[in-house]
Structure 1
Amino acid sequence: MTGDQTRKLALVRNEVDLSEGDFDPTLLAVRVEEAARRLSIGRTTMYALIRDGAVQTVPIGRSRRVPVQALSDYLAQRMQSRPINAVA
């Protein structure tokens, strides 16, 4: 197995520290913690968004993953629902 293959396998297994902004753009779905990191929100807030139905998840085995497209959809919906000049 090459170094690149080993790294991709580690990314799929979430064994790589992604806190430095390093991520694999080929992943179709990510763990809840990674989804929260990508949105720059806390884990608890991410779980609240999932619970409220604002962000979709998919079951994979005994865990849940957040499709990367669901993050884009959430942001697009938020952008449409707020005035352009609104301040957080």
Structure 2
Amino acid sequence: MTASTEFLTVPQVMERLQLGRTAVYALIHTRQLASITLGRARRIPADALTDFIQTRLDREAA
């Protein structure tokens, strides 16, 4: 992570992945999608979302 890392909210990730809240939190809970907690807010680094998508694409292609 760099100092200029962009952080996404759960609703932003929901929109980008076209998934519901429960599905996004399940990905976080199973550590498939990295996240951090800032106070009471959950944030997902944009790089973590990119890595998650690339991993899934690689897995599907194999």
| Shared fold (TM-score, shorter chain, > 0.5) | yes
Deviation at 1:47, TM superposition (A): 0.6
| Residue matched to 1:78 | 56
Deviation at 1:83, TM superposition (A): 2.5
SS of aligned partner of 2:33: coil
Map 1:33-48 → 2, pairs under 5 A:
33-48=11-26
SS of aligned partner of 1:53: coil
Map 1:1-88 → 2, pairs under 5 A:
28-83=6-61
Larger RCO: 1 or 2 (CA < 8 Å, sep 6+):
2
SS of aligned partner of 2:61: coil
- In the alignment, structure 2 segments of 5+ residues that lack a partner are none
Q: What CA deviation, in whole Å up to 9, does each residue of 1:49-81 have, x standing for no partner?
A: 001100000122222101111110000000111
TM-score, normalised by the number of residues in structure 2: 0.81
- In the alignment, structure 1 segments of 5+ residues that lack a partner are 1-26
Aligned counterparts of 2:7 and 2:20: Cα–Cα separation in 1: 18
Q: Percent identity?
A: 33
- Code of the residue aligned with 1:72 in structure 2: it is T
- Code of the residue aligned with 2:31 in structure 1: it is G
RMSD value, Cα: 1.9
The structure with the greater share of residues assigned to helix is: 2
Q: How many residues align structurally?
A: 59
TM-score, normalised by the number of residues in structure 1: 0.59
